[in-house]
Chain A
Amino acid sequence: MTDAVSNSSALNRTDGALAHFIYVLKSNPVTMLAFAMFAVLIAVGILGPAIAPYDPLASNAARALEPPSWQHWFGTDNLGRDVFSRVIVATRLDLAISVAAVALSFVVGSLLGSIAGYWGGWLDAVLNRVFDTIMAFPLFVLAMGIVAALGNTVENIVYATAVINIPFYARLVRAEVNIRREAGFAQAAKLSGNSDIRVLALHIFPNALPPMMVQVSLNLGWAMLNAAGLSFIGLGVRPPTAEWGIMVAEGANFIVSGEWWLAFFPGLALMFAVFTFNLLGDGLRDIVDPRQRS
């Protein structure tokens, strides 16, 4: 009995969400690295303009196309703007686009997928065929079409990226909900007086979160690439706004003539961000999965 008591007091200490978060970080160095990189991204995104050494939009024709130096770490572009400052300032926009797009597709996809998985029947059949139709298009081309049709704005990039991602979330949630629909704890929840919607929202859906977190994190990177890709081909964000996709697109013209830094550094930032999100997935899953607590 004393054994059980000491066990559970040890348990209580590690029980808090923060303690569990720290435990997950400690137990897996890769997760620790991923969260550190993520923290850097967030910090740069928030502080952006404050820590940039130069005005990202200020051109200086006298110092155009200078290679990296102590004054301009990432060199200057064809208008003499500081590439380092532009890369830093662009972080906020790129993060915002991808987070907003992923959040939107997460919410809409979870909603539709939960409904399809829990109630099934004709609703399930119709929703699934709609998702199949969306997935049948080449996704990037579909996104291009949506942005071209809705208008060339940042919001529309977010919507387009969200729409093409919805089927992936909906499918995943549908499968996770479906296997738990008849689970004992769902029935027990009904016996406790929960309506169907409560059972779904408070009992079944939260159990689908661990695999969703992996999807979210991989998807963040993918959404960022997608947004950058749209900007790269001239849709969405317009010059002179600093955005990694446009910067790579603009810089690409100068690679042939040897000014590699214009495209290289924004590309590196993009890669860093996508890599971070890809690493983050497993760690996020461990954090939202109570079975990892012991």
Chain B
Amino acid sequence: MSLLSIKDLKVSFKTRRGVVQAVRGISLEVGKGEIVGIVGESGSGKSVTSYALMRLLDRGGTISGGDLAYGGIDLKAARESTMRDLRGREISMIFQNPRAALNPIRKVGHQIEDVLRRHAKATRWTARAEAIKAMEAVRIADAGKRYDAYPFELSGGMCQRVVIAIALACDPRLLIADEPTTGLDITTQKAVMDLIADLITERGMSALVITHDLGLAAQYCKRIVVMKDGEIVEEGPSARIFAAPRHDYTRKLVDATPRAGVSVRDLLLPDQRTALPALPKAEAPLLQVNNLCKTFQGKSGPVHAVRDISFSVKKGQSVGLVGESGCGKSTTSSILVRLADPTSGEILFNGEDLAKIPARSFAGDPRRAAIQMVFQDATDSFNPRHTARHSIAEPLARLARLSRKERRQRVGELADLVGLPQTLLDRFPHQLSGGQKARVGIARAIALDPEFLILDEPTAALDVSIQAIVLNLLVDLRARLGISYLFVSHDLHVVRLLCDEVIVMKDGQIVERGASDEVMTDPAHPYTRTLLSAAPQPPTLISSAVRATE
């Protein structure tokens, strides 16, 4: 007898353009003590399924068919008051963005008390002690003191622990974790996932882990369900899904996941795997950074974001800059792209020191066109009032001073170069998908044929299959245009695919550098080893070459 049983569930949403079927008849069983992973890319309906279970669908969303049963209770027909009793006590949920899930103006301890008292697990007099116990259960050190903290005073990982404490405070039997580690650093992700896994086993709960990361699901779940366009395309034990995916889509997902021992082409579909282009030989130095420092004046004294780093990038070379949030990699990249001024140090670009020119007047500098950047958040990096064409043409108009006709032609060329259909050029950013926006961002950055391009996690917000395509595009562009890259990322596996050399940063300092394959296979610094081991390890990986010969 399974704890949760979903039969032919259908969920539809009413929108301006008519009814949209978000979930089209999925069936799923979760047994007692079982951890099931739901994997899919954005828009696959995986989150909607979990919201439907909790009956927390947005306005306009309805369960239009099928059955939902939890331990004999019909969730579809249950009254709202029954659902309120179930939520938190029987079925709990961990949300995607822990900071948004917590009330910013209330102490975290009080927020844990709320759920305890709602389900009569504590009284006014025992609530504080119970809440602290719940915080200790999720291994928050010094729980008595953290009880009085506000969400903004805690790190992302700590906030997620509080959210987990709230979810588990009343000993639910089923836990739904919706992308529980998105936006967390890779080491924090590991800590949080290990914690969730331990607690689930300790308490004998069942869990539904919803994620876009096949590797993560495979490591923590026994069984995986792969969803696409509101349907389940494949279901099976994790090891089998990875070793021998049966459905084409699953195979595409498995292949697109960056992992050790493959080239960037192996992420693509088999028929798209052309030979890697010959990359330019890196010889002459292009950029030389000497003793770069950046200190911010914080409220509690100076904050040393970048402490005396030196490195160099050769012409045509691709260098990876890896580290977790707060390591100074973003500060470094915004100094290099001359949007911020360093406190001290030299930035020699073709032998001339750029650090001498203040960032505010660099926009008018002749070398502005030579150093460009692809931003992390594609949505945020486009003016919402400008069409894609306008955004790509902007640098051409300002820096290259091309006429309107020349601009139009060049934008067309650039769109072809990055593989963006010309028909999309007249759309506004909100009318483009994530992958299309990434292409527009790259087209804009390479519009002026820069010598040096900083890529600030350009694929962090993309689905793995789109990420695979964008990474390949970047490799091709580098080969074709001979641009040098500084690829900023938190993911060593992605960096390895694209970079000849890698620099690992921690607390504003460079802890390790070297050829990327060497750093990956034989890391010298313990921090690099931690980073590598924290990345989810899919169970067994048959290399795609082997599978292709089958």
Contact = CB atoms under 8 A, between A and B. Distances in A.
Interface stretch (B173-181, B184-192, B373-381, B468-476): B373-381
A193 interface: yes
Interface in A1-38: 1, 4-5, 8-9, 11-12, 15
Interface in A174-192: 183-185, 187-192
Contacts of A185: 380-384
Contacts of B203: none
B427 A11 contact: yes
Contact of B428 (A195, A198, A206, A291): A291
A183 B431 CA distance: 19
Interface residues on A, range: 20 to 34
B381 A11 contact: no
A12 B368 CA distance: 34
B430 interface: yes
Contact of B373 (A191, A290, A294): A191
Given A1-B421, A4-B423, A294-B16, A194 B363 contact: yes
B423 A193 contact: no
Q: Which of B339, B385, B427 has the most CB of A within 10 A?
A: B385
A72 interface: no
Contacts of B424: 4, 8
Contact of B395 (A1, A193, A290): A193
Interface string A202-238: 0100110000000000000000000000000000000
A294 B17 CA distance: 10
Interface of A is mostly: helix
Contacts of A294: 16, 431
Nearest to B456: A184
Contact of A290 (B380, B428, B445): B428
A55 interface: no
Contacts of B445: 191
Interface residues of B, number: 35
A196 interface: yes
A15 B388 CA distance: 13
Q: Which of B368, B377, B384, B424 has the most CB of A within 10 A?
A: B384
Contact of A196 (B360, B373, B398, B444): B360
A188 B399 contact: no
B296 to A, nearest CB: 14
Contacts of A291: 384, 428, 430
Nearest to B361: A195
A187 B383 contact: no
Given A187-B381, A196-B360, A8 B423 contact: yes
B363 A184 contact: no
A8 B399 contact: no
B381 A188 contact: yes
B52 to A, nearest CB: 26
Contacts of B339: 187, 190-191
B368 A193 contact: yes
B368 A187 contact: no
B321 to A, nearest CB: 18
Contacts of B399: 192-193
B364 interface: yes
Given A8-B426, A192-B394, A184 B385 contact: no
B372 interface: yes
A197 to B, nearest CB: 10
Given A187-B339, A291-B428, A207 B382 contact: no
A291 B364 CA distance: 32
Given A8-B423, A187-B339, A192-B395, 12 more contacts: A4-B423, A5-B423, A185-B383, A185-B384, A187-B381, A188-B375, A192-B444, A193-B398, A196-B363, A207-B384, A290-B428, A291-B430
Interface of B: 16, 334, 337, 339, 360, 363-364, 368-369, 372-373, 375-377, 380-385, 391, 394-395, 398-399, 421, 423-424, 426-428, 430-431, 444-445
13 contacts: A1-B421, A8-B424, A185-B382, A185-B384, A189-B383, A191-B373, A191-B445, A193-B363, A193-B399, A196-B360, A206-B383, A291-B430, A294-B16
